[in-house]
Structure formats: structure tokens, C-alpha cells
Chain A
Amino acid sequence: MKLHPNNVIAAIGALLCLVAAPLWAEEDPLSPDGAFAEAIQNAQRRTVKIYGAGIGRSPAYASGILVSSTGDVLTGNGVYLGADNLRITLPDGTTHPATVVRRSQTLQVAHLKIEANTPDFFEIPVKPAAGKGDWILAVSNAFKVADRAEPLSVNIGVLSLRTQLDARRGVNDFPYEGDVYFYDAITSNPGAAGGAVVSTEGKLVGMIGRVIESKSTNTRLNYAVPADTLTKFMSGEETAPMVAETPSTGAKGELGIRLFNLGGRKSPAYIDRILPGSAAAKAGLKTDDMVVSIGGEIVRNSGDFNRLTDTLKAGVETTIEVKRKNDLLTIKLTPAEAK
């Protein structure tokens, strides 16, 4: 057989297995149904189907995860929650009327309750259950495919990245504050929101988020609200702003930069004029420099420039990066008090 370079890793894997085989021979943790079967079955026993009211393109159904033995369910926020006859179908096929306990705008998560015993539920882990590149299994009722007692659908993927979903820059009109997990299983589908994302050990990684589009990439995002964020929601912590703004004790800062204003907010931030004696003048900024970043945040255009300079405080040093001819200069300067 031709030895492929990629075989090396497989061979090492095989070697490890061979060496370790006697150790595992007694009690083998693997399921006879395959590497993922147990995790999937575990997750399916802890996820539910939710039915409510639909308006326009918003679906009237969603998925949810059980988080207590007494009928507490977490799901994604959505118009379907406004229904008079909100219903939850448990994994055993029984359907129960549900009430909304609480919903969070900043996390787009809702807490529902049914009057039923739910002995199988997710313990929300303290430590992340999966890292970048790890397999994840997404369990949800996307497209309402599963009916009554039918287990929910499963997609496999790998965890791509944990990053902040920047509501201002990242997503259209989506008031989410905090981190998300991106993965490469497709879950940006109606009804998937509220489903479970679990590790190969069946531990909860996060809860599938709603169908949204990224402004960064103009693509639909497949993402989950991380388990630790769900813990914050359950404890009510998220009601305080999660991203604390710098207390606005200081006076507003002024750099003394005036931009060319030709093409509106979308034109690059070219400096037209430096006010004499200003912070920018002292720091050596010049006409025709193009501002690339302020305080580490990218300035793609004059709109970004105005937004970022508005947040500067007098006397607080910041870093500005400018393009001068073909060089990038990094300059530190301290804004003066705005008049």
C-alpha cells in the first residue's frame, strides 16, 4: 500500500491505540453504535420542540433545552413566544402548555416553564466542554422535521472560533452582547434556535442562536450562545450591562483633526487640516495623512473616525495609526479638553 504522508498521523493514532489497547480492554467507553451515538442520544433526551405563533417570515416554532428536573427550558428569543398557546413537546412526545418566565434582549435568550417532571436535563458545565477544532453535535428541530416523539435532528461540525459578536459592526439590528461560538455545522435555519450544541461527551457547549447575518462577511452565521453565558442568564447577571462603559467622568477629548469631507461617511479618513496647537499638531500629524486606526480600532472611513473620536476623553492617552505615503506611522497622543 502506498504510504501517504497523512498516514503518519493515522499511524501514530494506531500506534497509541495498540499500546493503550490492553489498558482499555477491561472497560471500553465506546458505544457500539459509533463515536457520536451516546452524546447524540443524551442530547436528544434533553432537547424539546416548541410551538407558538409565527409572523411573516418568523417561524412559529423553535427548539429548547431542558435545564432542570422540574420543567425549566431555555430557548432563543423570538416572536413565537408571544403566542397565547405556547406549547412544549418533550422527548417522550407529551405536549405541555408553557409560560415565559423571562426573556433577555441583550442575550436573545428566553426562559420557559412547563408543569412537568423532566428527569433528564443539561447540567450547564462550568468549564467549556469543547475547544476550537473539536467535534460538536448540533441537535435541533430545524424546519420542524421531527414530529411528536421523534428525536430532534443532528448535525455534526467542528467548533470554529469563540469570538465576540459585535452587535454594532457585526450584525444588523441584533442586540446581542457577549461572545458566541461559531462552528461549521449548518444551524442558521428556522426552528433551530434554542437547540443544543454538545461535545462528543454529550456535555453542553452552548445553545443554538437565531438566524442572523454578519455585516462583516454578509453571510448567515452558524453560532451558539456559550454555556457560561447561559449560566449568567440563569443567574440574572446579564440584566446589568455586560460590557461596562468607561465611566464618563472625564471631559470629552479633542484631537484637532479635520477630515476631507468629499464622499460622505464612507470615504477614507484623510486629514484635511490640523488645528494649530492641538494634540494632533503636537504629535506631528500632517495634512494628507490617512487615519487607519484609533486606539487599536480600525477606521475604515470617516464615519468610523467620527464615532471613535467621539469616545475620546481629555487627558487619556490614545494611539493613532496613520498612513503617510506608503508608510504606516503609529503615534501616541493625548487629547485636550474639547471646547
Chain B
Amino acid sequence: MNRFSVSRCGAFAALAPWLMCGLAVLADEPKPIDPAAEKKLLQRGTLLSPKAFRAAAKKVLPSLVTIEGFGGLAAGSGQTKGIHAPGEGPTTGLVISSDGYIVTSTFNFIRKPPIITVRLPSGERKVARMLGRDETRRICLLKVEGANGLVVPEMAPRDELAVGQWAVALGIGYGDSEAALTAGIISATSRIGTKAVQTDANLSPANYGGPLVDLDGRVIGICVPLSPAGQQEGAGSEWYDSGIGFAVPLTGIDKVIAAMKEGKTLQKAFLGVQSKPTGTPPSGASIVSVVPDSPAAKAGLVKDDKLLALGGTEIMDVTHLSSVIARYVAGDQVELTYQRGEEKKTITVELAVAPPPPPPMKPMPVPMPMPPKDPEKKPEDKPGENPAEKPAERPSEKPTEPKKDPQPTPPEKTPQAI
């Protein structure tokens, strides 16, 4: 039928136990529910949900700011080939401190405007200073001076998020002082190296930098374009309004916020090993080669060492290793456990920035896509993976351009160094 049948039904179904739970709380002992009455309850809940969307939006609106850039590259230009370039309109940011720290998405500055202003909820416009950025989360921090008493929104604890729960997104990128509201559900609570939550609420450049909130108006995360494979600035924005959207939670990343306050740029982490799986079922990743001068080389890792754990997480296989590395940023110090012969050792490595890719003249090793995490591809079933955590396979009703696979499957024998 349409997107409703694929995904939103999930939310209605998810409401059912809550409604029942509500009844159970009222009665002293659980009573059997008449199926017809249950159906009606569900219908009423469904028809009432817009009230909940508006109530949630109302709570976070006082923390939304409008960001405007002056100068910089013209719309549609810049390093945005194949990616949806930002338009000419304003973008959204979220207040995170009463004295003027504002989180937004790096997407909003792809055109590199030298001057940035922020319009506060009071309507007052201020000049904003760009501080640091986290390129892996596509968020950045702005600061306006002389602001006080700004409203800081409540954050939703990450462990309370559940697949199927309602999520409401707000953004002011259409240029109106009022925010546009889109609604959907949480499709996955952990994506892109645990850094993002996935939602089927339509997200687009009108949202990037704005919040995704739960029905209590608490911030689930900042809406950003992300893509499991694409590292290019703005990658993921080609999925705008498709039902595959990402929001980066701000809880539990105090270190990242602190680094951004200091003006640091956080980049993708690199260990510097090429590895292959070992054992059946695979356990650990066996090193095929070590990139010279990489963190792995500096830590003394050599060929045939078997990586067993990183930062306390047991490594299942090669793909898992890359997704565990993706949880960190360059500069993070991580405990690494490996096995050489019979001996097990735990050392600390400092992850670094990946070296620039080799010049494109030679036949170059193409970046390895991570198949189980790429919603464009059929994910292979991994043992122990919760099927509910998979991206909703809802086809976009927008006619998509014939998909050119930008990353042809690399030859079997040339694993990408990670």
C-alpha cells in the first residue's frame, strides 16, 4: 500500500502494549481485554497521536535556533558532487547551554560561510563563532556571546530508546520562523559505530542540525546526514525524506562536546591493519598486513597477530572490527587485546587519522563497503543480530535515479586497511 503499512503499523502495534499497560496500571489485577475494545483503543490512540506530537514539539521549540551563513561558496558548488548540496536557506541548531553553546550539523557549513549568525528563539540575532566539529558524527559547535538564560532541552537517556517508539523531528530550514514537524518511529537504536539512532521520520536539509525528540519532548539526537559507507562530506543527504534518517545522541559524549569546545576537529579513527577472519564461526581478526607508521605499527603489531578485543569489546570478525573502530575518533586511546602464538597481550593504542587515499592513477583498493550495515544492500543475517534492529525496508516512493554503485565490490584478496 504505502509507507504506512510498512513502518507506521509498527508504531501502532507498539502502542498496543502501552495502552494495555495503561489499563493494567488502573486495574488492581490484569483483566482480559475484549479484542473489539482493544481495536477501538488502538484507533483512538492513533487518532490522538498528533496531540502528542505537538506537545513534544512544544517542549523543545524554545531551544531551536535559526542559523544563517553569509558568503562562502555559491549554492550547489563545492565538494559536493553526487551529494545533495545545501540550498540557500537558513538551517537549524539546538541550544545546549544557557550561555550560548549551540550544536548543529556540519552539513550546514559545506559552503564554508565566513560569517555565521544565529537567530535566538527571542528573535534576537547574534554573530556566532564556529568552534570544533566531530566529522564522524557530522555535528559541530557554535558559540554566541552575550547570551544568557537560553533554554536547554532535556535529553532522552539512550538506554530508554526502543525500536518502534514515536519520534518527532523539527527543523526551520524552509525559512519560516516556525519549525516544520515530521513524525515517525525509531528504526534502530544504534547505527554507524553506535554513534547514531536511525529513524523513519522524514529528515532533510530542512532538519539537519535540528532535534529528533521523543513524545516527552526529550532530545533523542541531532538530525544529521550519515551513511555507513560514504565518508564524503554530506554523504547520506542523498537519502533525504527517504525514511532512512539518522540522529546523533548527545548523551554520553561529554568528551566529544569538550573537545569541540576547545575547537578540535574529530576525525574517523584508523588503526592501520588489514585483517582476515579466523575460525568457524569467526572469532577475532587475524592481521594480514600492518600499515607502516600507523597506530598498529607503532604498537608493535605484526602479521599473523590475532586481534581479540578493542576497548573491552570482543572482536567477532573483520567487519565487526571496523564497526568497533568506528565507535571511536582519531586520538582516542583504546585498550587492545591480541594473541601472538599462544601468548595473549593487552596494550593501549592511540587511534590516528587515516592517511590520504593513494593517488587515483594506480588501480587503487576501493573502500570496502560494510555490507551488513548498508541499508542499500541486502544485509546478510548475522547470528545474534536482532531482526528488529534492521532498517525498515520501506522503499522510497520518490523515484530514485538509477543507482550507480559508487563502490564496486573489491576483489576478495585486497581487504581495506582499517
Contact = CB atoms under 8 A, between A and B. Distances in A.
A8 B216 contact: yes
A28 interface: yes
B117 to A, nearest CB: 6
Given A189-B397, A215-B89, A1 B24 contact: yes
B238 to A, nearest CB: 10
Contacts of A218: 75-76, 84-87, 205
A235 interface: no
Interface residues of B, number: 86
A21 B38 CA distance: 12
A140 to B, nearest CB: 11
A141 to B, nearest CB: 13
Contact of A35 (B47, B162, B179, B205): B47
Contacts, number: 225
Given A217-B87, A267-B71, A163 B174 contact: yes
A219 interface: yes
Given A158-B183, A218-B85, A219-B241, A169 B41 contact: no
A185 B184 CA distance: 11
Contact of A222 (B88, B214, B241): B241
Contact of A161 (B71, B88, B179, B184): B179
A97 to B, nearest CB: 30
B88 A300 contact: yes
Contact of A155 (B4, B21, B184): B4
Nearest to A325: B127
A6 B8 CA distance: 17
Nearest to A298: B68
Interface string A314-337: 000000010100111000000000
B1 interface: yes
B54 interface: yes
Most B-side CB within 10 Å, residue of A131, A133, A321, A328: A133
Nearest to A1: B21
Interface in A11-61: 11-15, 17-18, 21, 28, 30, 34-35
A244 to B, nearest CB: 21
A229 interface: no
Main secondary structure of the interface of B (DSSP, over half): mixed
Interface stretch (B12-20, B286-294, B308-316): B12-20
A6 B165 contact: yes
Most B-side CB within 10 Å, residue of A185, A220, A298: A298
A161 B125 contact: no
Contacts of A63: none
Contact of A156 (B8, B47, B205): B8
Contacts of A328: 117, 125-127
Interface in B124-176: 125-127, 129, 145, 160, 162, 165-166, 168, 173-176
Nearest to A34: B43
Interface string B389-412: 000000011110000000000000
Contact of A266 (B57, B74, B240): B74
A129 B260 CA distance: 46
A299 B43 CA distance: 48
Nearest to B396: A186
Contacts of A21: 37
Interface string B103-126: 000000000001101000000011
23 contacts: A5-B160, A6-B165, A7-B21, A14-B18, A14-B19, A17-B19, A28-B40, A35-B43, A35-B46, A35-B47, A131-B54, A133-B168, A154-B1, A160-B181, A166-B175, A169-B88, A169-B175, A188-B398, A216-B173, A216-B206, A217-B204, A220-B398, A222-B241
Interface of B: 1-4, 8, 15, 17-26, 37, 40-55, 57, 68-71, 74-76, 84-90, 114-115, 117, 125-127, 129, 145, 160, 162, 165-166, 168, 173-176, 178-184, 201-202, 204-206, 214-216, 240-241, 396-399
